């Protein structure tokens, strides 16, 4: 009870300081504020602290409208709140923060809105390289997560520069999802996994005679399992034919994922054509082959053979594979949807959605999120063990 009272008092003091941000009063009380914050974080740290926070920064345009500001001012205010949130997270001991900065869907907005947002993002990315930036102050390693090919060259180059410049930072990690949707991430991960498997399979296969006899490499016979399944799968005529069919299979699986993405209007995967197999893949998955298997859709037998492709293979090709799964997603503005954000990574994750628009988010929203996490901690830990 005493702790809750202390926290509430500290939150009220800090919140009133926050309201005077930028004024002389706030400067005057700046160090007092940081002292209060540290005390509060010490109290919070008596419980478990999330390792990984993810933010969906919703409500920037609505904020601009509400405050009768010009278009774009909401996103600028949103960026400044983002910097405060990052500071609080890292002070609290959170190691990973992921933000949804720009989705592939966002490219469908009015061209000048997209352009203004990209200009702001470019300006802020370049700002991250400055000596006095938060990135240098807290030793943050930055990753840009998404289909970076879809970005304009200046933004892509700036993003690559920041990633390179922060490679040796080890204290904490910021993952900026840009030109990102989960469906796109999953499609490219499936594609890469299939490509890798084929590279693993083909050398084995090229040492095999058409009769199926196993040949020896360096005095050892090649394990028959993989080669056998490939032979059955591709009908075994020539290595070229096998390769073509294999890559068709790879595309079919990936296209299936893509098709579900297209239904939601997502563009830009670079794989075209129709695939009638995804429904089958989905129903096979639902009927118990889910555990690590991308099923083959041509026959029951091949379904078993293709168990060579595992969930871990796909996972290791996710853009987000550089970080553990998030412990908590905060979506501002009271929305409780994930909107194609980290769908693969959030099966065991708390969703916290305060009503505040993103530029109205304050320290106390973060504190309530951590308290909510602590309240649900044992439930999520139990779930993780069951998984």
Ligand X SMILES: CC(C)=CCC/C(C)=C/CC/C(C)=C/COP(=O)(O)OP(=O)(O)O
- Told to check if 133 binds ligand X by CB under 6 A, we report no
- Told to check if 369 binds ligand X by CB under 6 A, we report no
Q: How far apart are the first and last CA of the chain?
A: 35
The DSSP-derived string for 63-103 is HHHHTTPPTTHHHHHHHHHHHHHHHHHHHHT--EEEEEEEE
15 is catalytic: no
Query: How far is CA 212 from each of CA 21, 44, 205, 221, rounded to the nearest angstrom?
Result: 74, 64, 10, 13
The strand ranges marked E within 187-305 are 216-217, 220-221
Q: How far apart are CA 105 and CA 111, in angstroms?
A: 13
Q: State which residue, 85 or 187, has the beta carbon closest to ligand X.
A: 85
- Told to check if 326 binds ligand X by CB under 6 A, we report no
Residue from 95, 106, 196, 339 binding ligand X (CB under 6 A): 106
- Told to check if 124 binds ligand X by CB under 6 A, we report yes
| Structure-block tokens of residue 216 | 């020896």
- Told to check if 356 binds ligand X by CB under 6 A, we report no
- Told to check if 59 binds ligand X by CB under 6 A, we report yes
Q: State which residue, 44 or 135, has the beta carbon closest to ligand X.
A: 135
- Told to check if 146 binds ligand X by CB under 6 A, we report no
In whole angstroms, how close is the CB of 347 to ligand X at the nearest point?
A: 24
The residue range among 53-61, 188-196, 205-213, 243-251 that interacts with ligand X, by the rule CB under 6 A, is 53-61
Contacts of 120 (CB under 8 A, 6+ apart): 72, 75, 76, 79
Q: What are phi and psi of 357, to 5 degrees?
A: -70, 155
Site for ligand X in 3-32 (CB under 6 A): none
- Told to check if 158 binds ligand X by CB under 6 A, we report no
Q: State which residue, 92 or 99, has the beta carbon closest to ligand X.
A: 99
- Told to check if 125 binds ligand X by CB under 6 A, we report yes
Residue from 54, 135, 140, 176 binding ligand X (CB under 6 A): 176
Q: State which residue, 61 or 208, has the beta carbon closest to ligand X.
A: 61
Burial annotation 206-226 (CB, 10 A radius, 16+ → b, else e):
eebeeeeeeeeeeeeebeeeb
- Told to check if 363 binds ligand X by CB under 6 A, we report no
- Told to check if 175 binds ligand X by CB under 6 A, we report no
In whole angstroms, how close is the CB of 177 to ligand X at the nearest point?
A: 9
Residues 61-100 vs ligand X: string with x where CB under 6 A? xx------------x--xx--x----------------x-
Query: How far is CA 172 from each of CA 34, 43, 102, 134, rounded to the nearest angstrom?
Result: 20, 21, 22, 11
Q: How far apart are CA 294 and CA 307, in angstroms?
A: 7
Q: State which residue, 59 or 295, has the beta carbon closest to ligand X.
A: 59
Q: Are 243 and 237 in contact (CB under 8 A)?
A: no
Residue from 10, 11, 101, 204 binding ligand X (CB under 6 A): 101
Q: How far apart are CA 191 and CA 22, in angstroms?
A: 49
- Told to check if 57 binds ligand X by CB under 6 A, we report yes
- Told to check if 118 binds ligand X by CB under 6 A, we report no
- Told to check if 354 binds ligand X by CB under 6 A, we report no
**Among 18, 58, 291, 327, the one annotated catalytic:** 58
- Told to check if 331 binds ligand X by CB under 6 A, we report no
Q: State which residue, 123 or 276, has the beta carbon closest to ligand X.
A: 123
Query: How far is CA 13 from each of CA 293, 354, 364, 365, rounded to the nearest angstrom?
Result: 54, 20, 10, 14
Q: How far apart are CA 231 and CA 233, in angstroms?
A: 5
Q: State which residue, 106 or 307, has the beta carbon closest to ligand X.
A: 106
Where do we find the tokens 């180059």?
Answer: 157
Q: How far apart are CA 294 and CA 252, in angstroms?
A: 11
- Told to check if 58 binds ligand X by CB under 6 A, we report yes
Residues noted as catalytic: 58
- Residues at the interface with ligand X (CB under 6 A): 57-62, 75, 78-79, 82, 99, 101-102, 106, 120-121, 124-125, 176
């Amino acid at each position: 009870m005493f702790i809750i009272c202390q926290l509430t008092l500290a939150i009220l003091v800090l919140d009133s300081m926050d309201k005077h941000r930028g004024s002389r009063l706030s400067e005057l009380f700046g160090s007092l504020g940081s002292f209060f914050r540290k005390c509060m974080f010490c109290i919070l740290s008596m419980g478990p602290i999330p390792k990984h926070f993810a933010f969906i920064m919703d409500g920037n345009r609505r904020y601009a409208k509400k405050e009768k500001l010009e278009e774009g001012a909401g996103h600028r205010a949103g960026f400044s709140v983002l910097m405060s949130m990052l500071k609080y997270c890292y002070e609290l001991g959170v190691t990973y923060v992921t933000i949804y900065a720009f989705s592939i869907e966002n490219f469908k907005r009015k061209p000048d809105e997209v352009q203004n947002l990209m200009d702001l993002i470019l300006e802020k990315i370049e700002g991250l390289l400055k000596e006095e930036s938060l990135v240098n102050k807290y030793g943050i390693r930055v990753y840009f997560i998404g289909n970076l090919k879809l970005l304009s060259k200046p933004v892509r180059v700036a993003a690559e520069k920041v990633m390179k410049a922060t490679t040796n930072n080890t204290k904490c990690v910021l993952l900026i999802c840009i030109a990102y949707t989960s469906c796109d991430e999953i499609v490219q991960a499936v594609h890469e996994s299939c490509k890798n498997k084929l590279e693993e399979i083909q050398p084995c296969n090229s040492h095999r005679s058409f009769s199926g006899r196993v040949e020896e490499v360096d005095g050892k016979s090649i394990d028959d399992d993989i080669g056998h399944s490939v032979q059955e799968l591709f009908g075994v005529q020539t290595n070229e034919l096998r390769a073509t069919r294999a890559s068709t299979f790879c595309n079919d699986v990936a296209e299936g994922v893509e098709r579900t993405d297209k239904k939601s209007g997502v563009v830009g995967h670079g794989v075209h054509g129709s695939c009638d197999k995804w429904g089958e893949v989905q129903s096979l998955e639902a009927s118990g082959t889910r555990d690590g298997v991308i099923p083959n859709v041509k026959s029951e037998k091949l379904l078993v053979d293709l168990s060579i492709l595992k969930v871990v293979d796909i996972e290791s090709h996710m853009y987000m594979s550089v970080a553990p799964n998030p412990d908590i997603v905060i979506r501002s503005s009271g929305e409780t949807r994930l909107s194609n954000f980290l769908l693969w990574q959030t099966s065991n994750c708390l969703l916290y959605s305060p009503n505040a628009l993103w530029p109205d988010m304050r320290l106390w929203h973060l504190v309530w999120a951590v308290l909510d996490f602590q309240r649900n901690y044992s439930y999520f830990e139990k779930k993780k063990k069951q998984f």
